[in-house]
């Protein structure tokens, strides 16, 4: 006789998004402050990223920059976390836990809701109107800032 092990139900799926390309959607109720998935990929230095993407002006990337100059490139050994879109009113956040990035819910999420976090992208160059347009945000939030770029913090 074989016994069937019950599999934990997947809490989210990847499918087409109204924000951009593919996105990640909840399949079930998810409580607030739930750790959902690690943002996985190959760890590169900024120099390696610059070399790898030298001729690439496309703002569309699967890169996650850590504070210490290391960048996680989810095009190499990445997982579903790479499909999570940005929102100006996100329901998740990216949490740094000992240099590993985890996506956690900020609030309770209903089945069918798209998961999102604030990318917080701050470019070294000036955030000119043209750059803001290049990084245009389509999150659809009532208070959408119109750009994925994060306002620069004064140093």
Ligand X SMILES: C[S@@+](CC[C@H](N)C(=O)[O-])C[C@H]1O[C@@H](n2cnc3c(N)ncnc32)[C@H](O)[C@@H]1O
Single residue of 40, 82, 103, 109 touching ligand X by CB under 6 A: 82
- Residue 61 binds ligand X (CB under 6 A): yes
CA–CA separation, 35 vs 41, rounded Å?
18
* CB-based contact 46:130 (threshold 8 Å): no
Measured from the CB atom, is 24 or 139 closer to Zn ion? 139
**DSSP-H helix ranges across the chain:** 46-52, 129-134
Contacted entry of Zn ion, ligand X, none for residue 43, CB cut-off 5 to 8 Å set by kind: none
CA–CA separation, 134 vs 146, rounded Å?
11
Measured from the CB atom, is 17 or 91 closer to ligand X? 17
* Min CB(88)–ligand X separation in Å: 8
- Going from the C-alpha of 46 to that of each of 66, 70, 72, the distances in angstroms are 10, 6, 10
Question: Site residues (CB under 6 A) for ligand X?
Answer: 17, 19-23, 59-62, 82-83, 85-87, 137-139, 148
Question: Site residues (CB under 5 A) for Zn ion?
Answer: 88, 137, 139, 144
């Amino acid at each position: 006789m074989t016994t069937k092990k019950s599999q934990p139900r997947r809490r989210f799926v990847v499918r087409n998004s109204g924000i951009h390309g593919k996105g990640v959607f909840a399949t079930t109720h998810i409580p607030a402050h739930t750790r959902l998935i690690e943002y996985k990929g190959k760890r590169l230095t900024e120099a390696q990223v610059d070399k790898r993407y030298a001729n690439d002006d496309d703002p569309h990337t699967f890169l996650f920059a850590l504070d210490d100059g290391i960048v996680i490139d989810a095009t190499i050994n990445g997982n579903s976390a790479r499909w999570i879109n940005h929102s100006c009113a996100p329901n998740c956040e990216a949490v740094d836990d000992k240099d590993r990035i985890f996506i956690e819910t900020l609030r309770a999420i209903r089945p069918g809701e798209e998961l999102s976090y604030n990318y917080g992208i701050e470019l070294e160059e000036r955030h000119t109107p043209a750059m803001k347009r290049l990084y245009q945000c389509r999150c659809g939030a009532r208070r959408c800032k119109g750009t994925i770029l994060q306002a620069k913090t004064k140093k």
